[in-house]
């Protein structure tokens, strides 16, 4: 394997491990077995677990946010929310994982400061996007933001994150689909 391929494989597997086990639920040994390299090789690419987690969060965040920003800006607000809900559905995968940043938020007390800030930035970016969509939905009379799109966005985003936990727990996507319906008029 060439260097870029090893690095990408390490990052991909680290994201999956973070989404299924959390920050404290895996080691470099787990990662070395999945990728087929020595743990010392992992340290070459990511000297510390903090470096690996930070890069995993940044890559995950960039991927998710680019998908969100790719949602047609000229679409009605309720359709944008439908697309956003489908993006969350992709996160569930086979039903055993949740949002990487949602999983890390549960580990917040043990996260290094830089990783914590990256997770907070991810949450804020999602909440800001949702606030704009909810404000549009209020103006279009299709979504109910309760006169405060920012607060409604934080509540809605928390509901989306919580629904992923419930989807994983009950092995059903129904709970995710119910979240968006809560703000429809």
Q: How far is CA 13 from the centre of its chain?
A: 15
Q: Per residue in 68-87, pLDDT tens?
A: 999 999 999 999 999 999 88
pLDDT attached to residue 172: 81
pLDDT band at 1 (very low <50, low <70, confident <90, very high): low
* Rounded-to-integer distance, Cα 2 and Cα 90, Å: 29
What the chain holds in terms of domains, given with CATH numbers, is 48-181 (1.10.357.10)
CA atoms within 13 A of residue 74's CA, in its CB half-sphere:
0
pTM of the model: 0.92
Give pLDDT tens digits for 125-174. Answer: 999 999 999 999 999 999 999 989 999 999 999 999 999 888 888 888 88
What size, in residues, is the chain?
185
Q: How far apart are CA 71 and CA 81, in angstroms?
A: 9
């Amino acid at each position: 394997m060439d260097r870029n391929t090893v690095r990408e494989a390490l990052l991909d597997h680290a994201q999956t491990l973070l989404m299924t086990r959390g920050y404290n639920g895996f080691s470099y040994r787990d990662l070395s077995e999945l990728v087929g390299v020595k743990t010392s090789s992992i340290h070459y690419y990511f000297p510390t677990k903090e470096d690996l987690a930070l890069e995993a969060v940044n890559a995950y965040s960039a991927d998710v946010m680019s998908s969100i920003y790719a949602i047609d800006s000229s679409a009605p607000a309720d359709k944008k929310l439908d697309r956003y809900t489908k993006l969350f559905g992709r996160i569930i995968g086979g039903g055993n994982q949740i949002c990487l940043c949602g999983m890390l938020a549960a580990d917040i007390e043990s996260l290094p400061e830089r990783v914590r800030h990256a997770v907070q930035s991810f949450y804020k970016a999602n909440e800001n996007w949702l606030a704009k969509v909810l404000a549009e939905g209020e103006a279009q009379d299709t979504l109910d933001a309760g006169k405060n799109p920012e607060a409604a966005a934080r509540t809605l985003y928390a509901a989306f994150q919580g629904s992923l936990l419930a989807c994983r727990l009950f092995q059903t996507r129904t709970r995710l689909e119910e979240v968006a319906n809560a703000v429809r008029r």
